[in-house]
Amino acid sequence: MIELAGNRLLASLIEPLEGRLRWIFQQIDDPAVVWEEHRELCDAIISGDVDSAVACSLRHVRRNRATALRVLYGEG
């Protein structure tokens, strides 16, 4: 997403976090679900459907928040 955005500032901000994010992504319980969430979000962005993109991204973050907290802090 960051690369597709073409936003150099965003890319420079995320670069120091990239290794940690890759590690977190490897801890995902069901990669197929995450893949589908990313596909839906990409489709919404490509079609220019802002409302759908917002809804998809919020749904994705909310669904995966518990996994990230558990992996990082042992919390649910």
| pLDDT the model gives residue 45 | 93
Q: Whole-model pTM? A: 0.63
Contact 76, 70 (CB under 8 A): yes
pLDDT in tens, 2-56: 777 888 898 898 888 888 878 877 777 788 888 899 999 999 999 999 999 999 9
Interatomic CA distance for residues 33 and 5, integer angstroms: 23
Residue 2 contacts residue 21 (beta carbons within 8 Å):
no
In angstroms, how far is the first alpha carbon of the chain from the final one? 27
What pLDDT does residue 75 have? 65
